[in-house]
Amino acid sequence: MTESSLFKRTAAELAEAVAAGEVSAVEVTGAHLDRIAAVDDAETGVHAFLHVNREQALAAAGEVDAKRAAGEQLGPLAGVPLALKDVITTADMPTTAGSKILEGWQPPYDATITRRMREAGIIILGKTNMDEFAMGSSTENSAFGPTRNPWDLDRIPGGSGGGSSAALASFQAPLAIGTDTGGSIRQPAAVTGTVGVKPTYGGVSRYGLIACASSLDQAGPCARTVLDAALLHSVIGGYDPLDATSIQQPVPDVVAAARRGADGDLSGMRIGVVKELGGEGYQAGVERRFGEAVEVLGKLGAEVVEVSCPHFDYALPAYYLILPSEVSSNLARFDAMRYGLRVGDDGSRSAEEVMNATRGAGFGAEAKRRIILGTYALSSGYYDAYYGQAQKVRTLVTRDFEAAFEQVDVLVSPTTPTTAFPIGEKVDDPLAMYKNDLCTIPSNLAGNASASFPCGLAEEDGMPVGLHVMAPVLADDRLYRIGAALEQALVSEWGGPLLDKVPELETA
Amino acid sequence: MPSISRDEVAHLARLARLDLEPAELDHLAGQLDQIISAVAQVSEVAADDIPPTSHALPMTNAFRADEPRPSLSAEAALAQAPEAEDGRFRVPQILGEEQ
């Protein structure tokens, strides 16, 4: 096998090749590390990674090879490399959450999902770039410079998990982890032509996930194929006693659902197109590809109807009250005392002055905006009108979902109103930036499972478009059945995966 | 329409323990005013009799067994401290001279 044939393969194929002894985990890992070295330059390349774990990755791969040689049974993703979003703690690598306030911070413990992946023999290549504390839709809010979209290096790769999505789309890793508070897995997946799944809230442990908004944050799998995402989901999912919001129920059989979906038969499934998520403000090429994808689902046997969720129009404003409120509280832990940055400690300044100076120097513009906004929304006198009212809207959004799921099995919409925009275009226009998450936010408020699947390129700019699928709480398997059915239909129509069309990157 | 002044932003920044430069205060005041006007839409929804939702999936009392388990050692906890002294976090003075 040549190097390029290694890094272009799916996770399922790589794991099978490793298990069969056709290739070693060390060779697979080496091929991906070489690819990173070739295309990921911070100044001129994709810049998906903030930290690459070369020696440790090769050592972990060597352990997988040794286990295989000893005749041990390997897990279904053993020896497969992965790109880990830098908001998940790793005891052997720095974890910055894209913030200067945590630059160089080496966590004293592994997140639960980090541990589960290591135990499954997944090789963590390094940590991926992101908007600071997962706040943003473009990865431009990283303190360490933007990540570039492999489809067009002048455009954003989505956010906050733009490093993870870009790593997948530029073949630097076949698997990645994202976290989704308002769309940070699904929107980057949509704009890079990759697959991203936000599991049901509580379905994947948050222990070791640096909190953005605790009632909304959810880690999940990212990949280039639906089956690969399902395989990763089943490794990271399931009850964790270290997370008080973890669901004490088994993860739905997402791998079986992905395999079943690949048969291309959706008969018996009812799909609702959300009336409120389309029309004004949606790019023509996005609406066209979305409409065609829905037609494909109909041809595969699904029954398609239109569904109204009237309170979804208020999900975005409610989210931008709830999220900053939680952020202003969660980011209070960065106080310059126990870990992270400390500035101005000159022997004369008080602890409070050092704290104020450190937070002023350590947080970027978007983090500051949201801290101030959240502090305002929680202030006495405003609490009922803003935070309290937003929590009521949250109830109404959840009720819209419940009513819709009495009529249909899943809901669909475009993942994002537009394709990837040029770097710099919206970075200082918060309201324009926030609209990227219009379609993805309702599922964070309600906690149900959602995903984005590639559905083609918009004609006007040649950039990828995503189909957004929303399923009820704990019905994550439905996402995979729909996604896999759509994938097999579109791949056969296109004559290959969408990412066959991504431009060749210049290699160093 | 709500409005938020530069002085209010400065006050909020003090509450949030966040030093902001004068230029940041100018810039943020304008932006926050826009954002708050936009999110104030939530008040259009008639929701007097609607209960608030704080968590997507309601759960109460997630207990664990009351059994000892390993925790971080003092060395591990202090390893990433900005400054440590005598096995403790060293912090700037908490009380001023006159206190």
Residue with tokens 């706040």: A135
In CATH terms, the fold of domain A11-263+414-501 is: Amidase signature (AS) enzymes (3.90.1300)
- Split at pLDDT 50, 70, 90, the class of B1 is very low
Q: How far is CA A165 from the centre of its chain?
A: 7
pLDDT of residue B61: 85
Write down the pLDDT at residue B2: 57
Catalytic residue among A160, A328, A413, A443: A160
| pLDDT for position B55 | 87
Under DSSP, is residue A475 helix (H, G, I), strand (E, B) or coil? coil
pLDDT interval class at A414 (50, 70, 90) = very high
- The whole-chain average pLDDT of chain A stands at 97
Res. B59 pLDDT band, cuts 50 70 90: confident
Q: Are A22 and A1 in contact (CB under 8 A)?
A: yes
Determine whether domain B6-44 maps to CATH 1.10.3470: no
Better-predicted residue by pLDDT, B95 or A279: A279
Classified as helix, coil or strand, A316 is helix
pLDDT at A2 over 80: no
pLDDT tens digits, A423-481 = 999 999 999 999 999 999 999 999 999 999 999 999 999 999 999 999 999 999 999 99
Quick: pLDDT tens for A20-53. Answer: 999 999 999 999 999 999 999 999 999 999 999 9
- The strand ranges marked E within A26-174 are 49-52, 81-85, 123-128
| Residue A299 known to be catalytic | no
ipTM of the modeled complex: 0.94
The CATH 3.90.1300.10 domain(s) of chain A lie at 11-263+414-501
Q: What is the pLDDT of residues A114-146, one digit of tens each?
A: 999 999 999 999 999 999 999 999 999 999 999
Contact B30, B58 (CB under 8 A): no
A4 or A464, higher pLDDT: A464
Residues in chain B within 8 Å Cβ distance of A335: 17
- Smallest Cα distance from B86 to chain A, Å: 14
Confidence class for position B56, pLDDT limits 50, 70, 90: confident
The domain ranges of chain B are 6-44
Contact A215 B18 (CB under 8 A): no
Predicted confidence (pLDDT) at residue B98 exceeds the cutoff of 80? no
> Range with the lowest mean pLDDT among A41-55, A223-237, A457-471, B57-71?
B57-71
Supply the pLDDT for residue A398.
Answer: 98
Going from the C-alpha of A343 to that of each of A37, A73, A144, A366, A420, the distances in angstroms are 34, 51, 19, 20, 37
Per the annotation, the verdict on A67 as an active-site residue is no
Do the chains contact at A369 and B31, CB–CB below 8 Å? yes
User: Please, which residues bridge with residue A334 across strands?
Assistant: none
Give kind and range of the element (H or E) at residue A292.
Answer: helix A284-299
Is 70 exceeded by the pLDDT of residue B99? Answer: no
Residue A283's pLDDT is 97
Q: How many whole angstroms separate alpha carbon A470 and alpha carbon A413?
A: 8
Look up A275 and say whether it is catalytic.
no
Per-residue model confidence (pLDDT) at position A403: 98
First to last CA, chain A: 22
Catalytic residue among A24, A164, A170, A184: A184
Put simply, the answer to whether A369 touches B57 (Cβ < 8 Å) is no
CB contact under 8 A, B55 and A244: no
Residue range A307-348, pLDDT digits in tens: 999 999 999 999 999 999 999 999 999 999 999 999 999 999
Task: Quickly tell me which residue has 């994808």 as its tokens.
Answer: A293
Chain A residues with CB under 8 Å of B77 CB are 108, 338
Q: How far apart are CA A131 and CA A122, in angstroms?
A: 25
Tell which wins on pLDDT, B95 or A42.
Answer: A42
Please tell me the predicted confidence (pLDDT) of residue A52: 98
**Pairing outcome for strands A449-457 and A195-198:** antiparallel
Looking at residue A88, what is its pLDDT? 98
DSSP A305: E
Q: Alpha carbon B49 to chain centroid distance?
A: 29
A363: tokens are 């947080």
pLDDT in tens, A388-398: 999 999 999 99
Spatial distance between the Cα atoms of A214 and A328, rounded to a whole number of angstroms? 11
Cis peptide before A160 (omega within 30 of 0): yes
pLDDT (mean) for A235-242: 96
